Amino acid sequence: MIWRKLNGELLRLPVKSAVEEVIERETKAGYKLKVCIGTDSQVYGTETSFATVIVFLREKRGGFMFISSERSRQRYSLRERMLAEVAKSIEVAYDLCDIFTRYHVDMEVHADINTNPQFRSNEALREAMGYILGMGYAFKAKPDAFASSCCADKIVN
């Protein structure tokens, strides 16, 4: 995955090193951090675009994020696409969880899945929740899943 900042600048380090550098810098500056990881997708004709974000929240002091985008020509049902989003977020969380543990940074995985059964995305909720919680991560779904439903949603193209 290729990662960048919101302003488009590519990360100069591998994402794992960049995340560790951010945590060290922000901790030294006196901020308590929380990290939220989420993915959103959008279908455009025969392609599906995915955007995954790592959102760094400074307690009562705003935040910033790293972004990765990719496209797929694979056809997905809605349920499959929701679970693919969750899988991408889990992959990033798994890759970074040792850093979060070492620095005592709370981390959540956000799923762009509606908790209201009237919405079609809800059909993937139980599987996604089981997958995330089964990996030992904190889980948020809509309307609390801002990393996926707001941040990644604004990036996906």
Q: Between 3.30.420, 2.60.40, 3.30.70, 3.90.245, what CATH number should domain 4-155 receive?
A: 3.30.420
What residue segments make up the domains of the chain, in order of their start? 4-155
pLDDT digits (tens, 9 = 90+) for 73-118: 999 998 899 999 999 999 999 999 999 999 999 999 999 888 888 8
* Chain segment 1-59, per-residue pLDDT in tens: 899 999 999 999 999 999 999 999 999 999 999 999 999 999 999 999 999 999 999 99
pTM of the model: 0.93
DSSP assignment string, the chain: ---EETTSPBPSS-HHHHHHHHHHHHHHTTPPEEEEEEEEEEEETTEEEEEEEEEEEETTS-EEEEEEEEEE-----HHHHHHHHHHHHHHHHHHHHHHHHHTT-EEEEEEEEESSTTSGGGGGHHHHHHHHHHTT-EEEEETS-HIIIIIIHHH--
